[in-house]
Structures are given as C-alpha cells and as structure tokens.
Amino acid sequence: MKPSIKINGRRIGPDFPPYIIAELSANHNGDIDRAFEIIKAAKMAGADAVKLQTYTHDTITIDCDADDFQIKGGLWDGQSLYELYKKAHMPWEWHELLFAKARELDITIFSSPFDDSAVELLESLDAPAYKIASFELIDLPLIRKVALTGKPIIMSTGMANEQEIEEAINVANEYGCGDIVVLHCVSGYPAPADQYNLKTIKNISDKFKVLTGLSDHTISNATSVAAVALGACVIEKHITLDRNGGGPDDSFSLEPAELNCLCKDANIAWKALGKVNYKQTEVEKNNAVFRRSLYFIKDISKGDVISESHVKSIRPGYGLPPKHLDDVLGKRAKSNVVRGTAVTWELLC
C-alpha cells in the first residue's frame, strides 16, 4: 500500500488530515447559479474538494415505459429512471464553467464519470482525479477507461461484495492506476448509521492494501467522525444549500454549516489519533502535582519509628509514590519532621 497519494498537491493518507469531499450531485436543482453557490459554500466550509456527477439521461439509461425502468419505493418512488436522471443530471455545458469557478475559488474539483464520453469531457477539462460511483463499480470497462488517464481514482463500494471490489482494484492497477482510495459505502439515501459496519474500513485496507475512506449517506456527522478514528483518510458527504430545497438529493445532504462542523470535527478526530504514547503529555505535566503521594501527617522526632499514624497517601504529589508505603513503615526518622512534609528517602534511615 502506498503511504499516501496526491491530488492537486494535497497529500492524502493516514499521516495527513482527512480529505473532505463535498458531493454536489443533483443539488443544483437545474440552476447553475445554485451550483456556483454550493461550490463557494464547500470552500468556505473547509472542504478540500467538490465533486460533480457527469452523465446525461441519454447516456445513463433510455426513455422506456417498461416496468424495469420505473422506480418503486424509496426517495424517488413513482419516477422513471429517465425522468429522474433528466432532472438530476449536470448539463455538460456547465462543466467548464463549474471547473473555472472552483479553480477561481481555489478548491479542487473533479467528477464521477458514468461512461466513456464523460471521461473524455473531464479529460478535456484536466480533471485531477476521478471518482467511481458505487453503482458503477461493476463497470470494469469504465474503470479501465479511467485508469488509462493515469489520474488517481477514488471508488465507492456500496452494494459490492469482496470479489467485485477486488476486480475493480485489479483492473485499475492493471491499466496503470496505482493511486487508489476505496471508500466504504452503504447505498441507501439516507442510510441508517447502524447498517454502516464501519469496522469494514480497516478490513478493506488490510485485505486489498489500499487507502480507505467513507462515502457517508447518513444524516449526521457522527458516522464520518467515527470513520476517521478507524483510519478513513477520505470522507465524502453530499452538500446542499437547503435540505428542504426539494431537489433529488437535498433531503440527505449536509447544509453548509453542518459541512463546516464535519470538516472541523473530522480534523479534531484525526489529530486525537496521534501515536502510541505512554508518557505524560505536555498538558498533563503541570497536573502531576495533584496525584497522591506520601506525606507526614503529624510531627515526629528524630529516631522515631515510622508507623501508619505518621504517614498517609494524600494529595499533592511531591512525596514518594504511594506504592512505597510498606517500605517506609518501620524505618526511623533521620531528623525532626513537621506535619505536612513530603516523605522522601533522605528523611529516613
């Protein structure tokens, strides 16, 4: 496994802060100005990148009234696939403008292509990386096309079993992509946190020798923060300006203030991981004096035998550690000692 990869100069890996991707998806709601505002909101919230989805209703499905093409149940119940994707797709003529806006704002932008023509469009815009969506992970010809660009690939695993994940990684490697991040994902919209099985993140890393992360479709940020604590180096979350905006993905997306909290909390979680350490930290050093230690609790005279009535384990911590109590009892005082003196070996004989 590579210790890190790089997208637009930003290192991604366990030794670097989590890379936060704001998924714009269909939350433009057919308005390019809204898409511009989402990109700006992602930048202001502290995200590292904003991600698009590149397809049209005609490249991803067909206009067909057959039962197979009708959505039954869930968030998009009652629509045909063609109707949904016609409403949700990012118009291709917007892409150049959106890439320019992101670069103006100094936030990385890339996309999930859904067919070869999408890859070609994104290559013409010099996309710095590619995302393979969960539903496309089994499209090995698409992964081959993306891998041949030589750009880093982030791939989501929603619905995929171990064999499908392995096949996708192998194809990416075979066709020239060594910079891969695999995002554990549950393809529910929204997805219940109790179905996320976050322990899978480390298993993916161990089994497939890749960097790992999380594509999070839960409503809160708790799952993402927990994922960082389990080794996720990339977090992807949908962003919208208004969760009640009525768009296809608005209802399970973060609003800007929530994305800002995610960026902050994920970074705090990463910093808290630190390294294996059993030494006192800097913040603890000044508090060590408030530990217990052995103190003389009554005046004694030179030559007196020290008994339990003379010594007690109390705060502060300037005396001998309490573990030495049995060693102290039975010894004699070298000199007169006043109550409230810390017990030290130099006072005993």
Residues 269 and 301 in one domain: no
Residues 236 and 287 in one domain: no
Residues 292 and 260 in one domain: no
Strand, helix or coil for residue 78: coil
The per-residue pLDDT for 339 is: 98
For CA atoms 188, 265, 44, 14, the dihedral sign is negative
Beta carbons of 190 and 252 less than 8 angstroms apart: yes
Residues 268 and 288 in one domain: no
The per-residue pLDDT for 248 is: 83
Residues 305 and 170 in one domain: no
Q: Minimal CA–CA distance to 188: which of 120, 232, 249, 266?
A: 249
DSSP labels, 219-248: SSSHHHHHHHHTT--EEEEEB-S-TTS-ST
Q: Around Cβ 58, how many Cβ atoms within 10 Å?
A: 12
The per-residue pLDDT for 2 is: 86
- Containing domain of residue 219, as a range? 16-55+90-273
CATH number at residue 317: 3.90.1210.10
Residue 7 resides in a domain: no
245-247-251 Cα angle (round to 5): 70
The per-residue pLDDT for 249 is: 87
Counting Cα atoms < 13 Å in the Cβ hemisphere of 338 gives: 0
Residues 217 and 106 in one domain: yes
The per-residue pLDDT for 167 is: 98
Residues 287 and 269 in one domain: no
| pLDDT tens over the chain, length 349 residues | 889 999 999 999 999 999 999 999 999 999 999 999 999 999 999 999 999 999 999 999 999 999 999 999 887 899 999 998 998 899 999 999 999 999 999 999 999 999 999 999 999 999 999 999 999 999 999 999 999 999 999 999 999 999 999 999 999 999 999 999 999 999 999 999 999 999 999 999 999 999 999 999 999 999 999 999 999 999 999 999 999 988 888 889 999 999 999 999 999 999 999 999 999 999 999 999 999 999 999 999 999 999 999 999 999 999 999 999 999 999 999 999 999 999 999 999 9
CATH number at residue 179: 3.20.20.70
The per-residue pLDDT for 109 is: 98
Residues 143 and 265 in one domain: yes
Counting the structural domains of the chain, the total is 2
Residues 203 and 290 in one domain: no
The per-residue pLDDT for 75 is: 79
Cβ partners under 8 Å of residue 168, min gap 6: 132, 137, 138, 140, 143, 155, 160
Residues 144 and 220 in one domain: yes
Q: Which of these three, 273, 304, 332, is where a domain ends?
A: 273
Residues 253 and 164 in one domain: yes
